[in-house]
Each structure stands twice: as structure tokens, then as C-alpha cells.
Homo-oligomer: A and B are copies of this chain.
Amino acid sequence: MSKLSSILKSDAVLPSSKEVVLNLLCTSNYIAEKYAVFFKQFEITGPQYNVLRILRGQKGNPANLSTIQERMVHKNSNAGRLIDKLLLKDLVERNTCKENRRKIEILITQKGLDLLSSIDPELDELESENLKGFTKEEMTTLSELLEKLRE
């Protein structure tokens, strides 16, 4: 059972608005934890994967810090320190930009690309597993309602 009441061990009757928010937070935690466990096998974290994905999307062009920050799921994370961690694992390369020495150029390394290649098929599997009980319509409805909540 994964009802709110059993997660929070409380039988209190809540207004629908609180129930929605608590469901949102609990489900988000649940999914985030699944991802964390998944990424751990690759000795990486979710935010670090996010950075690598963005860098791969650059298709060879270097990205600077602010661009990465903008595109991350967590806008307020400190991309600089995430890059530090990725550097230690040789998954990215960092150079100061010659034309504008305020900027730094960040590139994904071949090792980084290889790691992503090994992660992606398994991640796809995890994702379809997560949503295996859902019809296409339910997924669309859920996405729309979540989007509406951000308005």
C-alpha cells in the first residue's frame, strides 16, 4: 500500500489541496530515490547525470557554466561544484575561454560519453517500468495537471 495515510502514518482527513501537495512531494521523493539508487551503480548522482546530458546535447560545442545552470532541472544547484566532481572522474574537461576569460568552457569527455551510453538503455527501461501501469492518456493527463500546477 502506498496511500498517503500509510506513508505518513496518519488518518487525519486533509483538504484536497493539502492532499495534492503531499502526494506530489511523496511521489517526487519516491521517484527521486529510485533514480538515486539507479545512478549509484554508475558511481554518479542525478544532478551529475543531468549535467552530462546537457553537455552531450551540445554536440561537441563547449558549454559555459551559466548555460548549464539554466538548463538544469534544479536551477539553484551549484553547477560549478558539480563540474568539480565530474572533473575528478574525468567525465568532463574544463578550460577557460580564450576570447572571454571570465567564461569557462566545459566539454564532455569520451569517457563521459561512454558512461552515458551505458546508462541510457537501462534508464529507459527504468522509466518505462515506472510507468508500466499507465495508458498513454493517463500520462498525458498527469503531465498536463502537473504543468497546470506550475502556472
Contact = CB atoms under 8 A, between A and B. Distances in A.
Interface of A: 2-4, 8-10, 12, 15-33, 57, 70-76, 124, 127-128, 130-131, 133-134, 136, 138-143, 145-151
A134 B150 contact: no
Contacts of A133: 148, 151
Contact of A130 (B21, B30, B127, B128): B21
B142 A142 contact: yes
A121 B130 CA distance: 37
A63 to B, nearest CB: 11
A125 to B, nearest CB: 10
B2 A151 contact: yes
A27 B139 contact: no
Contacts of A17: 127-128, 130-131, 139
B145 A21 contact: no
Given A21-B31, A57-B12, A74-B29, A3 B128 contact: no
A25 B32 contact: yes
Contacts of A15: 124, 127
Nearest to A29: B74
Contacts of A4: 147
Given A2-B147, A20-B131, 12 more contacts: A8-B72, A8-B73, A9-B70, A16-B143, A24-B24, A24-B28, A24-B146, A25-B31, A26-B73, A26-B150, A27-B149, A31-B149
